């Protein structure tokens, strides 16, 4: 039976054609800037995002780290969401490796940071304070798409206050597809953008950091320093190019399937669908905490994998189709009908992935 893995869009396997592209990639030593496939990926990414340059990175965590190290000096500060990936899920890299102080603020319900609060937390030029240098936004944020009008206002604030503006755009293509705009229209407001090839786009590895030439040169030095200078990595870049050329438009199918999932879940009494339904490729549900363990075990017996929690994030991706959603919904209905919540069996073979 096929495994239905709803934990994250990172779990996708490269398709047959993507593997072909990887196998046939022309390769060279990328530390010498001689890998033609990496060079091509970086050129394509810069062109799509409308930036001067781009840099291939091993992961989104690395790409965000390089951005923060490039924007900020020791003793500088960045303003960031309390639940932002860069703050919460990247092992404190900016603080550990860059001596960059975070100023976390709560996200609003729509995934934005309130610009009035951001303004209030920008520190005056006073030697008592860290120097506020950077505002970091996330788009999508838990699947939510930041409005373009909001990005414009964030840009204005950063201009006024002399801050750089970085986008953790791990899923920025989901946002662009949702808004039906070229990704450039989102990217234009930022000084730098990091996006993931290895999420909804379906590549096995990699992220790209986009920005002005000088910034990318600085980031390239940091990448070398943190051990991210890879050699014949064009095999990975080939998967990334394939993803950019073939897997962007289809993200709308993920969004439609997430909608279908959300609507199906709304018909199950024991489940609360949060945020009113699907947000791009994600659905968040709440269920009674005492049912979580049994449900997770029950699902696993049917080869369905979720991240346990009384708030559960369900993520649609390349390897999930219509039939999978139907199977998932009918297994849920069966679970709640039979009340399997009596005897718990322990199930933690699968790691919980927050992102
Ligand atoms: C996945 C993700 C990243 C990067 O994660 P890696 O696993 O390091 O590639 C960054 N930001 C957000 C919002 C993410 O979801």
Euclidean distance between CA atoms 301 and 192, whole angstroms:
44
Q: Is the pLDDT of residue 90 over 80?
A: yes
Could you tell me if the CB of 90 is within 6 A of ligand 1? no
Percent of all residues in the chain with a pLDDT value above 90, rounded to a whole number: 94
Give 58-73 pLDDT, tens digit per residue. Answer: 999 999 999 999 999 9
Question: Which of 87, 139, 132, 86 is closest to 110 using CA atoms?
Answer: 139
pLDDT of residue 347: 43
Q: Closest ligand 1 atom, CA of 140? A: 13
Q: What are residue 195's phi and psi, to 5 degrees?
A: -130, 155
pLDDT band at 341 (very low <50, low <70, confident <90, very high): low
Burial class (CB in 10 A: 0-12, 13-18, 19+), 259: middle
Could you tell me if the CB of 35 is within 6 A of ligand 1? no
pLDDT of residue 342: 55
Give 235-263 pLDDT, tens digit per residue. Answer: 999 999 999 999 999 999 999 999 999 99
Could you tell me if the CB of 168 is within 6 A of ligand 1? yes
pLDDT band at 338 (very low <50, low <70, confident <90, very high): confident
Q: Output the CA torsion sign for 278, 60, 212, 156.
A: positive
Contacts of 272 (CB under 8 A, 6+ apart): 285, 286, 287
Q: CB–CB of 315/282 below 8 Å?
A: yes
Q: Is the pLDDT of residue 312 over 90?
A: yes
Q: Closest ligand 1 atom, CA of 199? A: 1
Q: Is the pLDDT of residue 344 over 60?
A: no
Could you tell me if the CB of 132 is within 6 A of ligand 1? no
Q: Please tell me the distance between residue 132's alpha carbon and the centre of ligand 1 in angstroms.
A: 24
Q: What is the pTM of this model?
A: 0.95
Half-sphere exposure of 253 (CA within 13 A, CB side): 13
Higher local confidence (pLDDT), 45 or 340: 45
Q: What are residue 210's phi and psi, to 5 degrees?
A: -115, 145
Q: Is the pLDDT of residue 281 over 50?
A: yes
- The Cβ of residue 221 has, within 10 Å, a number of other Cβ atoms equal to 12
Q: Give how far Cα 71 sits from Cα of 10, 41, 166, 211, 218, Å.
A: 27, 23, 9, 11, 9
Q: Is the pLDDT of residue 52 over 50?
A: yes
Q: Closest ligand 1 atom, CA of 355? A: 15
Could you tell me if the CB of 140 is within 6 A of ligand 1? no
Q: Is the pLDDT of residue 353 over 70?
A: no
Q: CA dihedral in degrees (111, 149, 188, 208; nearest 10)? A: 20
Helix 60-71 vs helix 213-225: angle between axes, to the nearest 10 degrees? 120
pLDDT of residue 349: 46
Averaged over 106-112, what is the pLDDT? 97
Q: Is the pLDDT of residue 77 over 60?
A: yes
Q: Please tell me the distance between residue 342's alpha carbon and the centre of ligand 1 in angstroms.
A: 37
Q: Is the pLDDT of residue 346 over 80?
A: no
Q: Please tell me the distance between residue 61's alpha carbon and the centre of ligand 1 in angstroms.
A: 6
Long-range contacts of 228-231 (CB under 8 A, 24+ apart): 228/57, 228/58, 228/62, 228/66, 229/30, 229/31, 230/30, 230/31, 230/58, 231/29, 231/30, 231/31, 231/35
Euclidean distance between CA atoms 230 and 119, whole angstroms:
40
Per-residue burial over 21-55, b = 16 or more CB atoms within 10 Å of its CB, e = otherwise:
bbeebebbebeeeebebbbbbbebbbebbebebbb
**Token code pair at residue 297:** 């075990």
pLDDT of residue 261: 98
Question: Which of 28, 29, 144, 150 is closest to 84 using CA atoms?
Answer: 144
Q: Which of 128-132, 219-223, 235-239, 338-342 has the lowest mean pLDDT?
A: 338-342
Give 283-308 pLDDT, tens digit per residue. Answer: 999 999 999 999 999 999 999 999 99
Give 12-50 pLDDT, tens digit per residue. Answer: 999 999 999 999 999 999 999 999 999 999 999 999 999
Q: Is the pLDDT of residue 221 over 80?
A: yes
Number of H helices, E strands in the chain: 14, 12
Q: Closest ligand 1 atom, CA of 138? A: 13
């Amino acid at each position: 039976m096929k495994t239905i893995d709803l934990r994250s869009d990172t779990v996708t396997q490269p398709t047959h054609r993507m593997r072909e592209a990887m196998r046939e990639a022309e390769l060279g030593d990328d530390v010498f800037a001689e890998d033609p496939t990496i060079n091509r990926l970086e050129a394509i990414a810069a062109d799509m995002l409308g930036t001067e340059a781009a840099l291939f990175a091993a992961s989104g965590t690395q790409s965000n780290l390089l951005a923060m190290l490039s924007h900020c000096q020791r003793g500088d500060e960045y303003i960031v969401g309390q639940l932002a990936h860069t703050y919460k899920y990247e092992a404190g890299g900016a603080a550990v490796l860059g001596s960059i102080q975070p100023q976390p603020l709560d996200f609003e319900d729509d995934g934005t940071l309130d610009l009035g609060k951001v303004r209030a937390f920008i520190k005056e030029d006073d030697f008592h304070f860290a120097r506020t240098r950077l505002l970091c936004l996330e788009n999508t944020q838990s699947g939510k798409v930041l409005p373009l009008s909001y990005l414009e206002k964030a840009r204005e604030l950063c201009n006024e206050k002399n801050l750089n503006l970085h986008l953790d755009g791990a899923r920025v293509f989901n946002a662009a597809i949702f808004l039906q705009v070229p990704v450039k229209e989102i990217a234009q407001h930022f000084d730098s953008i990091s996006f993931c090839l290895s999420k909804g786009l379906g590549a096995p590895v990699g992220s790209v950091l986009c920005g002005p030439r000088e910034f990318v040169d600085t980031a390239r030095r940091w990448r070398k320093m943190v051990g991210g200078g890879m050699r014949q990595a064009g095999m990975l870049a080939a998967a990334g190019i394939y993803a950019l050329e073939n897997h962007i438009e289809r993200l709308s199918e993920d969004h439609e399937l997430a909608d279908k999932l959300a609507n199906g879940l709304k018909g199950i009494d024991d489940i609360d669908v949060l945020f009113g339904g699907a947000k791009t490729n994600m659905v968040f549900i709440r269920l009674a905490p005492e049912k979580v363990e049994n449900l997770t075990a029950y699902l696993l017996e049917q080869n369905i994998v979720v991240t346990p929690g009384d708030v559960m994030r369900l993520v649609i991706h390349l390897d999930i189709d219509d039939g999978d959603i139907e199977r998932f919904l009918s297994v849920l209905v069966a679970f709640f009908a039979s009340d399997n919540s009596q005897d718990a069996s322990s199930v933690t073979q699968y790691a919980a992935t927050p992102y």
